Amino acid sequence: MGGSPVAGRYARVIPTKRFGRLRPRTTWPSAGRVLVVGSAVPALALAGWLLAGLPLLLLGWFRPLPMALLGGGTALLLCLLGLRRLPESVPALGRHVAAVAGIAVASGLFNGFLRSEQLFVRRDPATYAQYAIWLARHGSLPIPYGQAGFGGLDPALRFDSMGFYDFHGAIVPQFMPGPPMLDAIGYWLGGVPGLLLVPPVLGALAVLVVAGTAARLAGARWAPLAALVFAVSMPILYTSRTTFSEIPSLILLFGGMTLLLDARHRLRTGGGARIAAALAGLVFGLALLVRIDGLRDVLPVLAYAGVLIALRRISWPPAPTGTGTARRFPDGRLGVPLLAGLGVGGFCGFAACYLLARPYLMYLSGSLLPLLAICAVVVVVTAAGAALAPKIAVRLAARRARPGRTDRPAQPGGPERGDQPGRPGGSARRPAWLSRLPWLTKVFRSSALPGWAAALVVLVMAGFAVRPWVQTVRRVAVTSEDMLTADFIEKAQMANRLPVDGTRLYYEDSLYWVVWYVGLPVVVLATLAAAVLARRLARGRALEWLLPLAIIGWTTVTTLWRPAITPDHPFAARRLVPVVIPGLILLAVWGLRWGRDRLHHAGRGTRLAMIAGVLLFVVPPAVISIGTAFSPVERGEADGIARMCAAIPRDASVLIIERVTGDRFTQVIRGQCGLPTARVKNPQGSSVALGFDVRRVIGKVRAAGRRPVLLAADQAQLAPYGTATQVLRLRTHQDERSLVGPPDAVWSLASDVWMTVPQEPR
C-alpha cells in the first residue's frame, strides 16, 4: 500500500455516488500499518520528550508548561518525521494487532493495579522516585542544602543521604536524569499516585515495542507470542511496577531497531529512508540519557554505521544494461544519517552525565573508563575502515583476479530451507550488491566462515552453562562501597541459610538467571536461532538481522560475563531487562518460526508442534512469576509519608540523628515535605549522633528563627531531647533477596520514625 502523508491517519473521506448523491466512504489503515506505527511511536515520543527536556533542565526551566509546549511539540514532530509516508512493511491481520494490543493493555492494567510504592530511599527505585519528585516540583538541579534553615553550615551537619551525593556545596542525585524526566509527567498529572503509575504505562509500551520488533523480523503472526512471553516474565513485571531505568532503556534500544528496519524498507519501497535512519540513531544515542551503561549497548550501532559508510564508498562497474555509472551498496546511504543521529543522542547523554551526574560518573569510573577505551577503539577502527574501504576493496579484487580471465559475479546459491521470498528473516537469493563483488562472494562461498560463526554461538552459550563448575566469581572489598556490598551479601547469605562469604558475587550463575526467568526452551531455541542467523549472515543473507543480532549478542555476552550488580533477586534480574530477555525472546520466536517452516517443507504437520512450542514458551516463565506476581511490595509508603509530613510543623528545620532514618528519609522530607533537612553526623561505630553536637545545632536552628525537629528510628534515641511521638509506623512487604534461586515470595518490612520538638531552655 502507498504511504499516506501522515502515517497513522485514521480515516479519509472518499466521495462516492449512490442514489444520485455524493456520500462519504471511510477507509481505515491496514492492520500491518497500525502495528508498525503503534510500535514505533513509543520510542519517538520518549526521544522527543528527553531531547527537549534536557536543555530545559540545564536552564532550570523543567516546568509543566514549557515541557508541555516544547517537549510535547518535539515528541509530535519526531513522530511526524518518523512515520510520514511509512510503507507497510509488516503484513498483518486484525487478530494479530488485537492480540498484541490486548496483551499490552492487560500488562499495563495488571502492573498498575499491583504497582509498588518504593518511596523510602532503600534501593534504586526510591532514588529515582525522589529524583523525579524534586524535578517535578522545582524544575532544576542541583538540590540546594537549605543551610539557612540551620543557621549556616556546621561541622556536625550532613546534607547527603543514600542515592544523593554531596558535591561542591549542593546535593546531586545519583543517576541519569532521563527516567526522572519521564516519571515527572505522572507527578504533574496526579501527584505521587500519578508518578507511581508511569512505570506500568511504560511497561505496556515496552510490550508494544518488543512485539513490533518481532513482527518486523519474524512475522506479524509471531508478535503476540513474543509479547505474551515478554509480558509474563518476572523481571519485566518487576521493573514495570516501580521507577527503574531499564524499561525506558528497552523502549529506546528496541525502538531504534524498529526505526532502522523501517528505514531499510523505505530504501526499497518509498522515501524518507535517511530521515528514519537519523531518527533511529538519535533514539539509540538517547539511551545514554536514560542509563550511562547504554554506551555498551549501542557500541554495535557505531560499528554498524561505519560498515554502512565503508560499503557505501565501495563502487563496482555498472550492469551491462546500466547507465554507465558506478553502482553502490544501497543500505550504505543510511550510514551517515545513522551516525549523525547517534552522535547527537550520545552527546546529550554524555553532557547530562558530566553536568548533572558527575559524582555518579566518578563512582562508575572503574567500569566506565574501560568501556570508553573500547568505544575509542571502535571509533578509530570504524573511521579507518570507512576511509580505507575503497583501496582495500580494489587491492583484494586485484589479488583475486586471474590473468586472461574476466571475473564474473558468482551465481547465487540455492535458498536454504526456511528462506522464502517476502518472508522476514530470509531471502531466496543473495543480494544483488553481493553478487557484484566477486572476491567477497568467493570468500563467503569457499571459506568455513559460516560454520565457524554458528559454532562460536553455541560454544559461547555452552561456556556460560559450564561456568559454575569451573569458576567462582569473587571480589575482595577495597573501597567503602565494596565493603557495604560485602556486608549486604553476608546478610543475604544468612537469610538464605548459605555459607557466609562476602566476597562471593554469584556471577558465574548468570546464564541460569536467564533460564529461571524465560525458561530453558526459550534459551535453547534462541541459541539455535542465533547460530542459524550467524551462519546466514556469514553467507551474506538475512542482512536485516545484522544489527539486531549484534546488539543482542554483544550485550548478552557482556552482561552475563559481568552483571555488575548486587546478586540478590529479583533486584539483580533488572540487568537482564533492557536487551537480554527481550533479545532472547525475539530470537526464540524467530527460531520457532524457522522450525515450523522446516516441518512444513518436510511435509509434516505443524499444528501440534506449534501448540507444544507455545506452551513451552509461556508456561515456564509464568510459573516462575506466579510466586511474586500477585504480591505488591512497599505498599503504604505514600500514605505514610503524607501523614509524617502533616505531623511535622511547617516552620521546622528537621535534624535526623540516627543513621538508618537519615539514609532513608533525608531526601524524602526535603523533597516531599518541602522542609530544610539535614543529618547530624554519628561517630564511627555508632548509629546515633553525639548529644553535644545535636544541642549545638538545635541552638543554631532557633537562632535562625526556625523550630528544631528531631527524628530517629526509636523513641529511646530521642529521650534526652524531649517527649517523642511516633509519626510513621508501617508494616508492609519488601522484595525477597534470593541468591541461588528464583524469588518465590516477599519478605516483611518494618519502618518506624519518631519525632520530638525540643523545648526551649527557660
**Which residues lie across from 677 on neighbouring strands?**
654
Whole-number pLDDT of residue 246: 96
CB-based contact 726:717 (threshold 8 Å): no
* C-alpha dihedral (430, 432, 435, 436), degrees to nearest 10: -160
| Ranges assigned E (strand) in 239-338 | 315-316, 327-328
Whole-number pLDDT of residue 74: 96
Q: Tell me how crowded residue 577 is: count the other CB atoms within 10 A of its CB.
A: 23
Whole-number pLDDT of residue 534: 95
Query: How is residue 657 annotated by DSSP?
Result: -
Whole-number pLDDT of residue 13: 42
pTM comes to: 0.89
**Which residues lie across from 725 on neighbouring strands?**
755
Whole-number pLDDT of residue 423: 44
Residue from 276, 251, 217 nearest 79 by CA: 276
Whole-number pLDDT of residue 466: 96
CB-based contact 701:649 (threshold 8 Å): no
Q: How far apart are CA 298 and CA 551, in angstroms?
A: 7
Whole-number pLDDT of residue 388: 74
| pLDDT profile of the chain (762 residues), mean per 10 | 38 44 58 91 97 96 96 96 82 91 97 96 96 96 93 93 93 95 97 97 97 94 96 97 96 96 87 92 96 93 91 63 56 91 95 93 83 86 76 60 48 40 44 52 60 93 96 86 88 93 94 96 96 92 93 96 93 96 97 91 82 94 94 95 96 95 96 95 90 94 94 95 95 95 94 93 68
CB-based contact 134:173 (threshold 8 Å): yes
